[in-house]
Structure 1
Amino acid sequence: MDENALLAANAVYYQAFAARDLGAMEALWASDGVTCVHPGWPALIGRAPVIASYRDIFRNPSQEAVTAREEKTLIEGGDGRVFCVEEVGGGLLLATNWFRLIDEKWRLLHHQASPLAPPPPAKQEAKRSFH
């Protein structure tokens, strides 16, 4: 499978999140070997806890929208990773979405997002004072 198919699977993740579509989210995840680390949460291991976390997030009326940009991919054999910047409520997170090719479809194995530090300020040229 090519990079475009991997990026399409990644887009499905964010579309399901935006629509709060638990069925679409469930369909994207692999059936076993899944893990997830939401920002500030403990590690979730196993499909049931991971899917339950999305159900709880989708039920939260104050959950901010999540959008992704700056996707970068890495495909090695049957595994594909997408690294991207998520914007949530004006804040930025760095996310990793790890997929595996299962029955010719990219299935999500692991999602992790954590706060992204702001870039350092641009260096200014040293000011010279002449007396």
Structure 2
Amino acid sequence: MSDLVEVILTANSQFYRVFSLAEIAAMRRLWLDAPHVTCVHPGWRTLTGYEAIQQSWEAIFINQGPVRVWPSDEVISFEDDLVWVTCIENIDMSATDTGRIMQAQARNAFQKTESGWKLAHHEASASPGHGLPAANQRLARN
């Protein structure tokens, strides 16, 4: 495995670790502080800009709290100055009445900065047959 692939997989894993722990300060550090960054949470409209995205994570963390989330089936692709990671988000819903692992399809883009690789895009949508049931979503909605 190349060094760059290892670095990107580590950055992607760090994103899901911070997501799991619901640490807003750490989430802020993971994202590129720029007006062009974008994020699409399941069932939400596209959020653009660093502050809008951070406000969304804060709302999610307040409503949901810590929840175990981890990536699998990661595939990396390179496009100009971005490195994309397509993966499955596995979400442990055992703290809810569903009591099972839900899955979402996700795509994360990382952009190189002077301080390392930062998230420039995150998008997740329910996986057919394994996604988040609408009646039980614990994510805050815009």
Match of 1:38 in 2: 41
| Structure 1: runs of 5 or more not aligned | 120-131
CA distance in 1 between counterparts of 2:63 and 2:43 reads 16
CA RMSD of aligned residues (A): 1.9
Q: Does 1:47 align with 2:72?
A: no
Deviations 1:22-48 (CA, angstroms, capped at 9, x unpaired): 111100100112110000011111111
Q: Does 1:60 align with 2:71?
A: no
Q: Does 1:75 align with 2:78?
A: yes
TM-score by length of 2: 0.76
The CA deviation at 1:64 is 4.3
Q: Number of matched residues?
A: 119
Q: Secondary structure of 2:26's partner?
A: helix
CA distance in 1 between counterparts of 2:44 and 2:77 reads 26
- Higher alpha-carbon Rg: 1
Which residue identity does 1:81 align to in structure 2? W
Deviations 1:50-109 (CA, angstroms, capped at 9, x unpaired): 000101111114674322111111123431011110122322110000111111511101
Identical columns (%) = 32
CA distance in 1 between counterparts of 2:26 and 2:115 reads 18
Give yes or no for contact 1:57–1:63 (8 Å, CA) kept in 2.
Answer: no
TM-score by length of 1: 0.82
Match of 1:8 in 2: 10
| Structure 2: runs of 5 or more not aligned | 94-100, 131-142
Q: Does 1:94 align with 2:96?
A: no
Match of 1:129 in 2: none
